Amino acid sequence: MKVLDGIKVLDLGRYIAGPYCAALLGDYGADVLRVDRPNGDDDRSILPISEQGEGAQFLQVNRNKRSIALNINSVEGKKILYKLVQRSDIVIANMPAKALKKLGIDYESLIKVKDDIILTASSAFGIDPMVQDRVAFDGVGQAVSGAVYLAGFPEQPIKAMVPMVDYSTAISCALGTMMALYERKSSGTGQEVGASLLQTGLTLSSASLIEEAALKINRQATGNRAAQYAPSDIFKVKDGWIITQVIGSDMFTRWADLIGRPELVHDQRFINDLKRGENGEILCSLMSEWCKAFTRSEALDKLEKARIPAGPVNSPRDVLNDPFIRVTKPFEWIKHPGVNNKIPIVKAPVFLSRTPASIDLRPPQHGEHTDKVMQELGYMQADINYLKAIGVLG
């Protein structure tokens, strides 16, 4: 028995924020049906790895789903879509309000089909009429929220190459969806769940925004070196790179003892975190000198014994081969059509001791379950073949 056994999800999402939310619900037992366009979708081919051109990103965010290829812009396709809505508990769609309304999947349209439906619809900038129809991807969310400005260097801002805003928005949507489901048990009524890339990005950048509002510091980018505490940076060792972060006076004392400079604790330039941040170049320079004497494993071992947070700067290949990571069992290694090697789907980030998540279905190929789903809706095979012939089904 899983948490969401019996819950049906209709996934009209694309790229990450919508599909990953749906995948998380599927991990905990929901029956998730992805609605593909008859001729396929662009989000299937990002970082292609299979013979069919399916991408790594698609495979990660579309496990535990089935797929129907359906033209929801056609009259007959809309009828089928609404039949699917009638048997669903949740509809997920990350697109602008205007697109939702045009497709007939805005909340006002859906509750006419099923009055207790939950619509989870993330957007780029929120629901205010001035911004609700603007589009964006993860990098835009990072940039407008202040994160990109503070990364990199003053002459060159740098965004994270991993879509942290998209995935964080998806997790927020999953949380909101679960709360709406819980509330529906008592009220019997659905509702619309929303999140935006902007709000997620602002949340991730919130401490810097609060600091600026209070102190008017106008911080500038300092590369990998933290501005508010030190030493915190990426350091070169004999055979690679490590990151370490020293925060708080107790940890700073242990670090000073580790590098053989206990007198630093009493130096007025380093008397608290803010002072250490202001003089971070000096402390990071001392740390760089210390690191030169050790290999990565030697340095990390000494830092761990001193209880100082540190880790290797891993490449994707390093991550897959890292025995420390492997012992946590973070991946479900699955076989996928058109890919020679098994691929590592990253498991859900939330652990439940009694009703854990699991990845039971590989990501679906385009329209793989169209016939089966249509049969579940009561269509005969002759009708299904006809709908394929006229382009309603893929």
* Model pLDDT for residues 180-198, shown as the tens digit of each residue: 999 999 999 999 999 999 9
Q: Which pLDDT belongs to residue 62?
A: 98
The DSSP bridge pattern shows strands 8-11 and 90-92 to be: parallel
pTM value is: 0.94
Q: Over 90: is that where the pLDDT of 360 sits? A: yes
Q: What is the mean pLDDT of the chain?
A: 96
Q: How far apart are CA 52 and CA 338, in angstroms?
A: 6
235-267 pLDDT, tens digit per residue, is 999 999 999 999 999 999 999 999 999 999 999
pLDDT of residue 1: 87
DSSP states of 52-108 as a string? Answer: T--BHHHHHHT-SEEEEEB-TTSHHHHHHHHHHHHT-SEEE--S-HHHHHHHT-SHH
Q: Which of 130-134, 172-176, 225-229, 312-316 has the lowest mean pLDDT?
A: 130-134
Is the model's pLDDT at 40 over the cut of 90? no
Contact criterion met (CB below 8 Å) for 46 and 12 = no
Q: What is the DSSP string of 352-365?
A: -SSS-----SPPPP
What is the per-residue pLDDT across 84-101, written as a single tens digit (0 to 9) for each?
A: 999 999 999 999 999 999
Q: What is the reported pLDDT for 46?
A: 92
Neighbours of 231 (CB within 10 A): 27
pLDDT at 125: 93
Query: What percentage of the chain reaches a pLDDT higher than 90?
Result: 96
